[in-house]
Structure 1
Amino acid sequence: MAYQIIPVTPFQQNCTLIWCDKSKQAAIVDPGGDPQLIQAAVDKAGVEVTKILLTHGHLDHVGASSIIQQRYQVPLIGPHKDDDFWISKMAMQCQMFGFPEVASFTPDRWLEHGDVIEIGELKLEVRHCPGHTPGHVVFVDHDNQLAIVGDVLFNGSIGRTDFPKGDHPTLINAIKTQLYTLDDAYQFLPGHGPMSSIGHEKEFNGYTR
């Protein structure tokens, strides 16, 4: 897997462009905003976008989804259907976070735990990790020992659970059963901030010890 992190929105959310080195097929994960930056990264990488993937329904992760989908005419996939609670309330989210109004949308496909997403020769396992939001999912590339985890786990921290439908015990359980069961060598791309490894967080993350 090749990838590029594209920080977008005033929240500096890590939108990620991932692609298969062999086929040059690509996916855009969590296009939260700044579509011009995302398009510039795609053009520079010289890849073919074949799908858009969403980890969860918060505005800073999905705000540019409609624009990006119109630009590339590809399926919009994810998250789990329990995040329809957030995705169906785009106008409310824009007011809540102080963002300009964005177009609402409905994903072409909701994801379930255990689904597999293919991007060229890449295979991403879908794991349902609720707690930050009820329908949050993560994407795991076992061949390359890399996970894209949205706002479930960060370098030295964890996702917030004080938004509607958040739940702290549920989040901790998801981290321990769906992420900490990966090998310590797995690297992960969080929704904000720098990358880390599963082993590092298991040893040093005070929120999960």
Structure 2
Amino acid sequence: MSLKYQVVPVTSFSQNCSIVWCDETMDGVVVDPGGDVEHLLSVIKDQGVNVTRLVLTHGHLDHVGGTQSLSVLLGGVDIVGPHKDDDFWLQELAGQSQMFGFPPTQAFEPNQWLNEGDSIDFGRESLRVFHTPGHTPGHIILFSEAAKLAFVGDVLFNGSIGRTDFPKGDFNTLINSIKTKLWPLGKEVRFVPGHGPESTFGHERVSNPFVADELPY
């Protein structure tokens, strides 16, 4: 398997930023660069990754706060995602950063919005895009068929699910996204959540109190 990744927790929210790359070509992407940009840059350089794009799963500050700065430091690489339905979150970044005591963050629009069925290609690797609303209306997840690995942002956690009490969040919509978009990818799929430890879809299906649908024996 040539897909490699390193999870780097950033910001006071311990958000999982993921540096993902093809170890044959060393081309890669950064998923959800929420902050601590200098630290991210040092990890990218230490790993020798040629970052081609920054990819956003959704528009919340702790996932996007360092995006513009990191893009500049990497020579102006494109910012892609999330789905356009999260545009209102990106336009409210200044207010979000003030509310949560983050460094001032200006509104921006990505170079490309992402839709269901799109793919993020780098080196010999490819991540498929699935639109997974509920936590936010424009949330997307990324899936590597070859590696059986998903980057799911704040849709699903080890033992929990994303909050739905934010503007335009919806509990039933989130549960539907998990059960119709994530579960069909396979029980063996390992996932990197937006916060906390990794897990597998199979483990969550027998143990997660919000979405378990199978008995553990």
Q: What is the TM-score when the length of structure 2 is the normalising length?
A: 0.95
The answer to whether 1:125 aligns with 2:128 is yes
Confirm or deny: 8 A CA contact 1:66 1:104 kept in the other structure.
no
The whole-number CA distance in structure 1 between the counterparts of 2:186 and 2:166 is 30
Aligned length: 209
**Aligned residue for 1:200?**
203
The answer to whether 1:59 aligns with 2:61 is yes
The whole-number CA distance in structure 2 between the counterparts of 1:96 and 1:110 is 26
**Aligned residue for 1:2?**
4
**Aligned residue for 1:11?**
13
The whole-number CA distance in structure 1 between the counterparts of 2:155 and 2:94 is 24
SS at match of 1:95: helix
SS at match of 2:184: coil
The answer to whether 1:83 aligns with 2:63 is no
**What percentage of residue pairs aligned between the two structures are identical?**
52
The whole-number CA distance in structure 2 between the counterparts of 1:95 and 1:109 is 26
Q: Structure 1: 5+ residue runs without aligned partners?
A: none
The whole-number CA distance in structure 2 between the counterparts of 1:11 and 1:100 is 13
- RMSD, aligned α-carbons: 0.8
**Aligned residue for 1:32?**
34
The whole-number CA distance in structure 1 between the counterparts of 2:133 and 2:101 is 25
Confirm or deny: 8 A CA contact 1:32 1:64 kept in the other structure.
yes
The whole-number CA distance in structure 1 between the counterparts of 2:143 and 2:55 is 13
* Runs of at least 4 residues off by over 6 Å: none
The whole-number CA distance in structure 2 between the counterparts of 1:2 and 1:131 is 29
Aligned counterpart in structure 2 of residue 174 of structure 1, from 164, 174, 177: 177
**Aligned residue for 1:93?**
96
Q: What is the TM-score when the length of structure 1 is the normalising length?
A: 0.98
Aligned counterpart in structure 1 of residue 113 of structure 2, from 110, 115, 122: 110
